[in-house]
Amino acid sequence: GAVVSQHPSWVICKSGTSVKIECRSLDFQATTMFWYRQFPKQSLMLMATSNEGSKATYEQGVEKDKFLINHASLTLSTLTVTSAHPEDSSFYICSARGRIQQPQHFGDGTRLSIL
């Protein structure tokens, strides 16, 4: 089946640090990639959608200057949490999809802890 690789799987860093998370589709071309955030005991909340070669579309309430998304190729999208603070600590998950009718395939997620 389709595989999506997400790296790193966990990050612990100091407040004010910027953190980059990579999401790669390993065996298919991902026209669209999605970034979600999941707080403990809560559901997944979509943060933004990115299509290869174009600017990401952010959900309401998500700061685009805080969460920088780049989707430079059909197999790679990155999320950079800039100047991270403790309230940004969460589980960040990416997903990738080939065509609009196909299901999304999720990466393993990144646990981000900001001290």
Partner 1 sequence: GQQVMQIPQYQHVQEGEDFTTYCNSSTTLSNIQWYKQRPGGHPVFLIQLVKSGEVKKQKRLTFQFGEAKKNSSLHITATQTTDVGTYFCVLERDYGGSQGNLIFGKGTKLSVKP
- Please report, as ranges, the residues that interact with partner 1 according to CB under 8 A: 32, 34, 42-46, 49, 57, 93, 95, 97, 100, 103-109
14 or 100: CB nearest partner 1: 100
Q: In whole angstroms, how close is the CB of 93 to partner 1 at the nearest point?
A: 6
The answer to whether the beta carbons of residues 37 and 104 sit under 8 Å apart is: no
| CA-wise closest residue to 77 among 58, 101, 102, 51 | 51
**CB closer to partner 1, 24 vs 105:** 105
Whole-number minimum distance, CB 83 to partner 1, in Å? 27
Residue 25 or 32 with smaller CB distance to partner 1: 32
Rounded to whole angstroms, the Cα distance separating 72 from 52 reads 6
Q: Name the minimum Å distance from CB 115 to partner 1.
A: 21
DSSP 105: E
The distance of Cα 46 from the centroid of its chain, to the nearest Å, equals 9
